[in-house]
Chains A and B, each alone.
Chain A
Amino acid sequence: SAVISQKPSRDICQRGTSLTIQCQVDSQVTMMFWYRQQPGQSLTLIATANQGSEATYESGFVIDKFPISRPNLTFSTLTVSNMSPEDSSIYLCSVDGGGRARDTQYFGPGTRLTVL
């Protein structure tokens, strides 16, 4: 399986500011995904990021709030813009397994965000 790293691992931010989260994979992958895990809840998909095209956002998530970049096949960023305390969550990137495991997903360690 791919090795996925995220930066930062955690951050505490002030209301109204923005934070960019980086996701790095050790191999080229077709699809990268960004999920949110709110306290005590399960994972919810924010958007799918494919290289060379605009990210596809799920219902309830918009590009102005969560802009995503996918400059190449091993890297993506998610920005949480104009943050409020309701954005306090764990943000996780995942990648498809590729090849015969393309219908699976592997997750990074997550970025724990607290907004004051």
Chain B
Amino acid sequence: QKEVEQDPGPLSVPEGAIVSLNCTYSNSAFQYFMWYRQYSRKGPELLMYTYSSGNKEDGRFTAQVDKSSKYISLFIRDSQPSDSATYLCASLYQGGKLIFGQGTELSVKP
């Protein structure tokens, strides 16, 4: 079992839709959770990070962590074609090691 599981998609939605991206993790020691966006042929860009359970909102993006079920979510409201990218969830392990999910490829159609 991978420590962080993520549906690779691809996921295709129309412009303006609400997008829900999800990950599960297995290690209860994980406390910090991050979402990265990676455009084709670019490095990952940090979108959001959260500590422990709860919600964090930044503009059209909301990150949600439920530690009781080991579930991580990213919601994108009013999705735009420019949101088309691969989204990677990650959990921080000891020593600064990030454990990544496989990434979900998102396509927002105009």
Q: Is the CB of A33 within 8 A of B96?
A: yes
Binding site for A on B (CB under 8 A): 6, 32, 34, 36, 41-46, 49, 51, 88, 90, 92, 95-98, 100-103
Instruction: Tell me if A's interface is mostly helix, strand, loop or mixed.
Output: strand
Q: Number of residue pairs across A and B with beta carbons under 8 Å? A: 56
Q: Which residues of A contact B36 (CB under 8 A)?
A: 107
A73 at the interface (CB under 8 A from B): no
Closest Cβ of chain A: how far from B2's Cβ, in Å? 9
Instruction: Tell me if B's interface is mostly helix, strand, loop or mixed.
Output: strand
A53 at the interface (CB under 8 A from B): no
A74 at the interface (CB under 8 A from B): no
Binding site for B on A (CB under 8 A): 1, 4, 31, 33, 35, 41-45, 48, 56, 58, 92, 94, 96, 101, 103-110, 112
**Which of B44, B45, B90, B100 counts the most chain A CB atoms within 10 A?**
B44
Residue of B whose beta carbon sits closest to that of A50:
B96
19 A-B pairs within 8 Å (CB atoms) are namely A31-B96, A35-B98, A42-B6, A43-B88, A44-B100, A45-B97, A45-B98, A48-B97, A92-B43, A94-B98, A101-B49, A104-B46, A104-B49, A107-B45, A107-B46, A108-B43, A109-B43, A110-B42, A110-B43
